[in-house]
Structure 1
Amino acid sequence: MSLSELPPLDAHAHIAADVSAAQVLGLGNSVVFAMTRSVREALYTLRPGAASGDRLVWGMGSHPGVEQTVRQFDGDAFAEAVSRFALIGEVGLDRRGDDEAQVAMFRSILRAVAGRPVLLSVHSTGRCGAVLDEVERAPHPGVILHWFNGTAAEVSRATDLGCYFSVNAAMSPASLERIPFDRMLTETDFPASRTKTGASRPGDVARIEAVLAERHGADVRTQAWVNLAEVCGRAGATGRMPMEVRSVLESVTPGG
């Protein structure tokens, strides 16, 4: 696959678990990492007859900002289901809700994915330092910090911990400036902040690509895929990706 044929990469978006096949086709040629908010929701995407696609990657999540998810979290059920997914997300910590319960849930998730070939899309709203504390406590090579608005020191710390970052056009210029270009992936977080991200649907990363191209003067899409190939390689997650996504990853990997 030539670099000019690389599809748009949306490394963090939300799609209803009951999405129809026609709606999946509406995503066009984009590759979308679709987050869920609970194990139950994630498992529903695997039901017989569920809509899927070679460019749609479902994540298994336990969203820290959803009170019911935190309250009903079952660590054993989560651990049992990890092998069915290449992507874990959305998980992490949030400034709202029960701090102690969220930390317990996130620690349980990090234990469940230890040594497993998965990527993790990690939420850190209002809890950037606390999230990094947990990642440092239980490192994983596949951590992707979603919409990370940490300080320069926190970004440096996250980079030293091996983290990658998925970024969108709603982020401030200061936040984007702090993040190394060779650790960036593009995202929409659709449908959140649609007016700020400029995304009309999951996979519509045109605005963030334009913002990053203006800042870095480089081929943003190619760099995003190179970065994704690197984090997938580190985590061992490449082989779990859908065949078409795997093909793109291999096309941007030296010797792939």
Structure 2
Amino acid sequence: MSKSKRPEPESLELPPVGVDSHAHLDLDDFDEDRETIIGRARASGVGHIVNVFLGPEAYERGRALFDSHPEISFIMGVHPNDADQLDDAAVGRMREQFKADPRLKGVGEIGLDYYWERVDHDVQQAAFVRQLHLARELALPVIIHSRDANDDAVEILEAEGFRDYPVLWHCFGAGIELAERLVANGWHISIPGPVTFRKNSDDLQAAVARIPFERLLLETDCPYLAPEPWRGKRNHPALSVFTARRVAQIKGRPLEDVWRTAGDNARRFFSL
């Protein structure tokens, strides 16, 4: 017997009030069909997309790709795996870019990544702190990347006085303990596609059950981490509807309520 056909995201017929809070549509994974992908997002109920530029060079290369799409806003930051590239010139360049472009809504993704071990931990931490200071100077929210580094990332944020500052924990994949600590600090949490996975997502699903609705956002991190039933395929913003569907099941709430609430949270967080 052949496998059943995967449902398309348009089939959920959601209103255009959702927000994909973290997408990488400037990457070359989308060069052949970027406009089609953006159109499918809208048709599936994604009213706004926040595109991530991984540093000032990526921003300068890619911003024009979205000139005809006011429904796409930007964040920009130097990723921890590139932390050794953050010098005085890069910080100055970023400062001017943020001041010049109102579509740049936050500093990120920034933080720590101890999984790949590409950059020494002390270099990552120094770059993280410099970009936190830039965000505070510019009164912009920060979007955190943390992989195998949660304790250090939280401790740096706390030590730098970022309790009750607009902080979004991107691509949350941990359990209840970390979720409760983030919420206690007044921060927001973004839920990615792996919450839909049938295996190895029990801790994440338990955390989602406890995260207050007013702190919860949705993201794809596309082209990575496609949710079920599209796991293993290229991710794109339209597929965030399946992440929302699983969150709604976990929360015991109507799908459209979760879709709208998470979208409203993103609009407030990013001042969209």
The reply to whether TM is greater than 0.5 is yes
Q: Give the aligned partner of residue 237 of structure 2.
A: 202
Q: Tell me the alpha carbon deviations over residues 127-173 of structure 1, each in whole angstroms, 9 at most, x when there is no partner.
A: 11111112112316221101223443322221111111111121423
1:134 to 136, 156, 166: 156
Q: Give the aligned partner of residue 34 of structure 2.
A: 23
1:158 to 178, 182, 188: 182
Distance of 1:141 and 1:25 partners within structure 2: 36
Q: Give the aligned partner of residue 96 of structure 2.
A: 80
1:222 to 243, 249, 260: 260
Q: Give the aligned partner of residue 92 of structure 1.
A: 111
Report the 3-state secondary structure (helix = DSSP H, G, I; strand = E; otherwise coil) of the residue aligned with 1:147: coil
Structure 2 unaligned runs (5+)?
1-13, 196-200
Deviation of the 1:81 alpha carbon: 2.8
Closer, same or farther in 2 for the Cα pair 1:176/1:118, shift >3 Å? farther
Q: Give the aligned partner of residue 24 of structure 2.
A: 14
Q: Is 1:121 aligned to residue 143 of structure 2?
A: yes
Report the 3-state secondary structure (helix = DSSP H, G, I; strand = E; otherwise coil) of the residue aligned with 1:11: strand
User: Identity over aligned residues, as a percent?
Assistant: 20
Q: Give the aligned partner of residue 188 of structure 1.
A: 220
Amino acid at match of 1:76: G
Distance of 1:184 and 1:116 partners within structure 2: 24
Q: Is 1:71 aligned to residue 91 of structure 2?
A: no
Contact 2:226 2:239 in 1 (8 A): no
Report the 3-state secondary structure (helix = DSSP H, G, I; strand = E; otherwise coil) of the residue aligned with 2:224: coil
Deviation of the 1:24 alpha carbon: 3.7
Deviation of the 1:14 alpha carbon: 0.9
Contact 1:128 1:150 in 2 (8 A): no
Contact 1:12 1:33 in 2 (8 A): yes
Report the 3-state secondary structure (helix = DSSP H, G, I; strand = E; otherwise coil) of the residue aligned with 1:27: helix
Distance of 2:108 and 2:203 partners within structure 1: 26
Q: Give the aligned partner of residue 8 of structure 2.
A: none
Q: Is 1:35 aligned to residue 45 of structure 2?
A: no
Once structures 1 and 2 are overlaid, which stretch shifts more, 97-106 or 192-201?
Answer: 192-201
Amino acid at match of 2:62: T
Amino acid at match of 2:109: E
Q: Is 1:169 aligned to residue 186 of structure 2?
A: no
Give the TM-score taking structure 1 as reference length. 0.77
Q: Is 1:178 aligned to residue 207 of structure 2?
A: yes
Closer, same or farther in 2 for the Cα pair 1:22/1:200, shift >3 Å? closer
Q: Mark the structure with the bigger radius of gyration.
A: 2
Deviation of the 1:59 alpha carbon: 1.4
Report the 3-state secondary structure (helix = DSSP H, G, I; strand = E; otherwise coil) of the residue aligned with 1:114: helix
Q: Is 1:146 aligned to residue 170 of structure 2?
A: yes
Distance of 1:117 and 1:208 partners within structure 2: 30
Deviation of the 1:27 alpha carbon: 1.3
Give the TM-score taking structure 2 as reference length. 0.73
Distance of 2:247 and 2:190 partners within structure 1: 12
Contact 2:19 2:266 in 1 (8 A): no
Distance of 2:124 and 2:130 partners within structure 1: 10
Structure 1 unaligned runs (5+)?
242-256
Q: Tell me the alpha carbon deviations over residues 29-53 of structure 1, each in whole angstroms, 9 at most, x when there is no partner.
A: 2221111211111133345x86441
